[in-house]
């Protein structure tokens, strides 16, 4: 089969090549799901942030080759001397296909990287001088401000201008450069939001939210709230405890509120305080008897706050306070919000996982203690084991929601202990 017979099959093939999630596969080779760490992106920047600089360079090289090698071979051997615009159009379609495959890989639910390394490879094969300009700007920007997203956005913005300068009247290539720049900017919209908020991390600095010293208020003085307070303090955050008997907030504005109150007193306590206007993480487990509402619903109703998440897991306050290995799930409808709370809690002895199933985690948290009490009353350990296995069934929650009070914790605790 030659390209002239069915040319539309070439872009499909290039899309499949681009869809290989190299960053994710590299993480899996080291037992890490890269989507659960750092920014959650599978690109080279996040791989380097989570796994180390050498792994980041290796991931960049793999993504670069995805864009460069197939296009270079196609252009060199299939169309060595043909300069027709139809050939240029086919090459452009293949170039865009490999970028789209990287950005929207079907193997990970159409969630991929941001396409910078793959776009660089594509430019190296089709528009090498444009790559030289973009790469030079990227290096200068990184050395100047040490923020990778700014460097990537500047390099992307230069693509149409450099193409118009070095390849005049090549409207097909100009269109490719414009589309690539637009797509790269769109994929960096979350970075743009963090840049505007002043929270975008720099290379080699401690300015990321995970390393900033945040002001955290824990509403509730129980053992569970104090234990989570110790978890956040281990990461250097400032923690202030507020009791339900207090009538106003401390003078220092918090960055986050962690709610650790008995569920039946949540509504009454919240009504005593003015809305804080910051994200809230619910540590409370259960449903309000009078209304049947979940805690997140009560928070939204009383305070009008939509940035609400919930934390739940097979944990004991005394174990967490003692620094023993534990694992929990953070649920929020916004993955960015879940990442924020993960950044102020996650550490080697307290692993946190993210999910968007807020309802499932809250219901699982309300039910797990009931199951634990029932299982504890079974007469024999063998009966308890059978009962615990039954809890793996995703009752009332999505299949990917991990609220089971047995299996996941035991696996993670063993892994933490082996890691030292």
- Which candidate in 368, 386, 409, 417 is catalytic? 368
How far CA 372 is from CA of 361, 396, 405, in Å, comes to: 16, 17, 8
Q: Indicate if 368 belongs to the active site.
A: yes
DSSP collapsed to 3 states, the chain: CCCCCCCCHHHHHHHHHHCCCHHHHHHHHCCCCHHHCCCCCCCHHHHHHHHCHHHHHHHHHHHHHHHHHHHHHHHHHHCCCCCCHHHHHHHHHHHHHHHHHHHCCHHHCCCCCCCHHHHHHHHHHHCHHHHHHHHHHHHHHHHHHCCHHHHHHHHHHHHHHHHHHHCCCCHHHHHHHHHHHHHHHHHCHHHHHHHHHCCCCCCCCCCCCCCCCCEEEEECCCHHHHHHHHHHHHCCCEEEEECCCCCCCCCCCCCEEEECCCHHHHHHHHHHCCCCCCCEEECCCCECCCCCCEHHHHHHHHHCCCCEEEEECCCCHHHHHCCCCEEEEEECCCHHHHHHHHHHHCECCEEEEEECCHHHHHHHHHHHHHHHHHHHCCCCHHHHHHHHHHCCCCCCCCCCCCCCCCHHHHHHHHHHHHCC
Neighbours of 346 (CB within 10 A): 20
323: left (phi over 0), alpha (psi -120 to 50) or beta: left
Is 224 exposed, middle or buried, given 0-12, 13-18 or 19+ CB atoms closer than 10 A? Answer: buried
Question: Annotated catalytic sites, by residue?
Answer: 368
């Amino acid at each position: 089969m030659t390209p002239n017979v069915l040319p539309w099959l070439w872009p499909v093939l290039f899309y499949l090549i681009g869809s290989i999630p190299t960053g994710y596969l590299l993480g899996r080779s080291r037992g890490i799901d890269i989507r659960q760490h750092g920014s959650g992106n599978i690109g080279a920047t996040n791989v380097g942030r989570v796994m180390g600089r050498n792994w980041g360079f290796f991931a960049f090289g793999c993504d670069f080759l995805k864009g460069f090698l197939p296009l270079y071979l196609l252009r060199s051997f299939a169309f060595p001397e043909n300069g027709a615009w139809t050939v240029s159009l086919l090459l452009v379609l293949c170039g865009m296909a490999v970028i789209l495959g990287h950005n929207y890989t079907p193997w990970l639910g159409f969630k991929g990287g941001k396409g910078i390394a793959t776009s660089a490879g594509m430019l190296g094969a089709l528009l090498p001088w444009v790559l030289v300009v973009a790469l030079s700007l990227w290096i200068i920007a990184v050395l100047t401000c040490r923020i990778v997203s700014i460097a990537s956005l500047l390099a992307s913005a230069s693509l149409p201008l450099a193409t118009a300068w070095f390849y005049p009247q090549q409207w097909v290539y100009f269109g490719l450069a414009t589309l690539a720049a637009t797509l790269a900017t769109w994929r960096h919209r979350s970075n743009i939001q963090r840049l505007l908020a002043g929270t975008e991390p720099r290379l080699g600095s401690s300015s990321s939210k995970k390393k900033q010293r945040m002001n955290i208020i824990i509403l509730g003085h129980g053992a569970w709230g104090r234990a989570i307070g110790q978890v956040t303090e281990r990461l250097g955050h400032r923690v202030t405890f507020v009791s339900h008997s207090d009538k106003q907030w401390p003078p220092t504005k918090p960055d986050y509120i962690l709610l650790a109150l008995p569920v039946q007193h949540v509504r009454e306590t919240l009504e005593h305080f003015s809305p804080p206007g910051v994200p809230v993480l619910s540590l409370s487990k259960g449903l309000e008897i009078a209304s049947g509402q979940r805690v997140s619903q009560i928070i939204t109703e009383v305070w009008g706050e939509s940035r609400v998440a919930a934390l739940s897991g097979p944990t004991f306050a005394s174990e967490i306070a003692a620094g023993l290995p534990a694992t929990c799930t953070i649920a929020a409808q916004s993955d960015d919000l879940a990442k924020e709370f993960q950044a102020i809690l996650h550490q080697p002895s307290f692993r946190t996982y993210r999910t968007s199933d807020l309802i499932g985690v809250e219901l699982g948290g309300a039910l797990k203690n009931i199951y634990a009490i029932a299982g504890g009353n079974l007469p024999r350990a063998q009966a308890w084991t059978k009962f615990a296995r039954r809890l793996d069934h995703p009752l009332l929650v999505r299949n990917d929601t991990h609220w089971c009070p047995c299996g996941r914790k035991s696996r993670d605790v063993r892994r933490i202990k082996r890691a030292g």
